[in-house]
Amino acid sequence: MKLEVTHLSRAFGSHKALDGLSLAIENAHSLVLVGPSGGGKSTLLRILAGLETPDSGTVAINDVPLLFDEPQLLQHRRRIGVVFQAFNLFPHLSALENITLPLTAVHGHTRSEAQDIAMEQLRRFQLEAKAAQKPAALSGGQRQRIAIARALAVQPQMLLLDEPTSALDPSMTAEVLETIALLRDQGRDFVLATHEMSFARRVADRIALVSNGRVAELSEPGPFFDTPISPVTREFLAKVV
Ligand SMILES: Nc1ncnc2c1ncn2[C@@H]1O[C@H](COP(=O)(O)OP(=O)(O)O)[C@@H](O)[C@H]1O
Ligand SMILES: [Mg+2]
């Protein structure tokens, strides 16, 4: 993917969640966002998802500008898959129905097409035995893997993942991280915000340190972790690694 974000700003009241954030990547499948809580990662992801509108600045994905008017945003949201920290699934629907719903309701598939696509996704993630289960009967890790399967079922242009493991205990984190690693191996395009540094290093083609609503550093994971340039990055890594 190619992603160009320029001078993106978004304030909530007097607080600038994004303060002229810019970044540009090209020829990369995965961008990983790290940085202190409150730095602006989720706000950036929500804007990329078309769920939030910036006060100023521009976004272009694969050279296509993202236009922040409602009809365009509606189109954009259909092309993007989103997985949040938790509560991604509809609690009253089975795993299978969670995946088929967007396919029939938003993407115009027939019921039987949607079921075929959903079962294929469940098989791909070795979750077919869970097809009839409601989210409450699944582990947290299984729920997040179903959420990822659902996001992929609509063949999104890119996947946005906002701390998908931070609500999970460590035993369940691993299975979700393996699922994300699989996406990387498949050459899927995704932007991931995470606090899992060793995982970030493993799956990132590019890694960005987001702090105070800006990108303090953007590079490949080797240099990012081994020879960080920005004092902001150094301070952050000293705390978390
Ligand atoms: N909807 C909102 N209303 C008010 N403040 C918000 C909202 N969303 C984010 N913020 C604030 O914007 C800042 C950036 O938040 P966020 O993008 O969630 O950072 P991160 O994901 O890096 O932790 C934080 O100070 C947060 O409290
Ligand atoms: Mg966040």
Domain ranges of the chain: 3-89+158-240
Q: Give me the residues paired with residue 19 across strands.
A: 9
Residue with CA closest to ligand 1 atom 11: 17
C-alpha–C-alpha distance, residues 228 and 130, integer Å: 43
Query: Which pLDDT value is given to residue 171?
Result: 84
Give the confidence band of 88 by pLDDT, cuts at 50, 70, 90. Answer: confident
Q: How far is CA 71 from CA 50, 77, 80, 109, 133, in A?
A: 11, 10, 15, 21, 35
Residue 184, by phi and psi: left (phi above 0), alpha (psi -120 to 50) or beta? alpha
Q: Would you say domain 3-89+158-240 falls under CATH 3.40.50.300?
A: yes
Instruction: Kindly state the average pLDDT of the residues 36-46.
Output: 97
Query: Which pLDDT value is given to residue 47?
Result: 97
Give the confidence band of 169 by pLDDT, cuts at 50, 70, 90. Answer: confident
Output the CA 38–ligand 1 centroid distance in Å. 5
Would you say 158 and 1 are in contact if contact means Cβ atoms under 8 Å apart?
Answer: yes
pTM, to two decimals: 0.95
Output the CA 70–ligand 2 centroid distance in Å. 24
Q: How far is CA 78 from CA 218, 228, 240, in A?
A: 28, 37, 36
Query: Which pLDDT value is given to residue 103?
Result: 94
- Residue 170, pLDDT > 90, answer no
For residue 233, what are its two tokens?
């990055």
Query: Which pLDDT value is given to residue 158?
Result: 96
For residue 163, what are its two tokens?
């701390």
Residue among 8, 9, 15 to mutate when testing ligand 1 (max atoms within 8 A of CB): 15
Identify each DSSP E strand in 26-109 by its residue range.
Answer: 30-34, 56-61, 64-65, 80-83
For residue 87, what are its two tokens?
């509560």
Q: Could you tell me which residue, 175 or 217, shows the higher pLDDT? A: 217
C-alpha–C-alpha distance, residues 144 and 148, integer Å: 6
